[in-house]
Amino acid sequence: MSAMTRKGYLDRLLTAYTRVAVLSDKNGCTVYRLRHNTKGQDLVLRSFSQPIAAYEILRDVACDALPLIYDTVTLDDGQIVLEEFIDGVTVAEIMETGKYRYRGAKAVLTAVCEALTVLHQRGLVHRDVKPENVMIDKSGRVVLIDFNASRQVSDAAKDTLIMGTVGYASPEQLGITQSDARTDIYAAGILLNTMLTGKHPSEQLAGGRAGRIVKKCTQLTPIDRYQTAALLAAAL
């Protein structure tokens, strides 16, 4: 057996890497940015106390709209995920300087829909689609990151745990029904609205066509929303 702890694994890795930054440290998950000592390349290391299935599932996938998951390592006291480092800024950071126009928001959301399509096809729900989790790198590649809140769609009657970010969490995530792919559609709608208006749709709904799309995404009943991310992308 591996007989290795996360700390042991990280310590060994740090013989070849330098720790550039701790990107986040909460919810039993620590995220480091590491730089290879000789290659100069960066990667993201996520250290979880509880293994997250999504990373395991996405390890086999190479999609432009998702970060590459290099490897998932199961250790005695949790899981370590090695992930592609996206050298860019989050939509939340861009939003600090101003709002999006429809064309820009459409480009971002189309990529998010592509990412969501890949996730949903693999039976995953992201459950935390928000500006902080959408990154844009220097080449303009849009990437949906952070699968920490994701889950596999199951037959259980309802979510037993509230996960996600308030404001972006859909009603079923807060207990009305089981969250599924349409949960992410809801959050994507709010993301679109936020990009265009800087506000939650309940405060200010985007105008025109975008407003109608947001409205449809954020219907309280999942069946009234766009049923797949591809349909949402098509509507854009």
Partner 1 sequence: MNNCPHCGEVLQEGAHFCPYCMTSLDDKTVIPTRIPKHKWRLLAATAALLFALFALGTVLLLTRGDDPTVPADAPITTTGSQAIGITGGTTTFSSIESGGNTATKSERGSTPTSTGGTDTATTSKKSGSTSSKTSSTTTTTTTTAAKGDSAQTNTVQSGNPSSDTETTTTTAATAVTYTYVIATQETAYPPGKAPYSFTPSDYVVITGVSGVATNGIYEVPKTIGDQTVIAIMPSAFAGVSDHVKTVILPTSVRTIWSNAFSGCYNLTDLYFSAKAIGIYEDAFPAVAQRIGTLTFHSPYDSRNFDFYYYRNIAGDYGAQWAQWNG
Binder of partner 1 out of 111, 112, 135, 185 (CB under 8 A):
111
In the complex, what is the shortest distance from the CB of residue 98 to partner 1, in angstroms, rounded to a whole number?
Answer: 26
Handedness of CA 118, 89, 131, 151 (dihedral sign): positive
54 binds partner 1 (CB under 8 A): no
What's the Cα-to-Cα distance from 166 to each of 71, 173, 211, rounded to whole Å?
30, 10, 21
Residue (33 or 99) nearer to partner 1, CB: 33
Q: How far apart are CA 132 and CA 219, in angstroms?
A: 23
236 binds partner 1 (CB under 8 A): no
Residue (182 or 196) nearer to partner 1, CB: 182
18 binds partner 1 (CB under 8 A): no
65 binds partner 1 (CB under 8 A): yes
Contacts of residue 20, Cβ cutoff 8 Å, sequence gap at least 6: 32, 33, 34, 35, 42
In the complex, what is the shortest distance from the CB of residue 128 to partner 1, in angstroms, rounded to a whole number?
Answer: 8
Binder of partner 1 out of 35, 51, 53, 68 (CB under 8 A):
68
Q: How far apart are CA 169 and CA 187, in angstroms?
A: 7
Binder of partner 1 out of 6, 13, 30, 106 (CB under 8 A):
13
In 10 A of CB 24, how many CB atoms? 14
Binder of partner 1 out of 60, 97, 103, 139 (CB under 8 A):
60
In degrees rounded to 5, what are phi and psi of residue 10?
-65, -40
Q: How far apart are CA 47 and CA 170, in angstroms?
A: 27
Q: How far apart are CA 61 and CA 102, in angstroms?
A: 30
Active site residues: 128
> What is the binding site for partner 1 (CB under 8 A)?
1-2, 4, 9, 13, 16-17, 26-28, 36, 39, 41, 43, 59-65, 68, 70-73, 75, 82, 110-111, 113-114, 117-118, 128, 148-149, 157-158, 160-166, 169-171, 173-176, 220, 223, 227-228, 230-231, 233-234
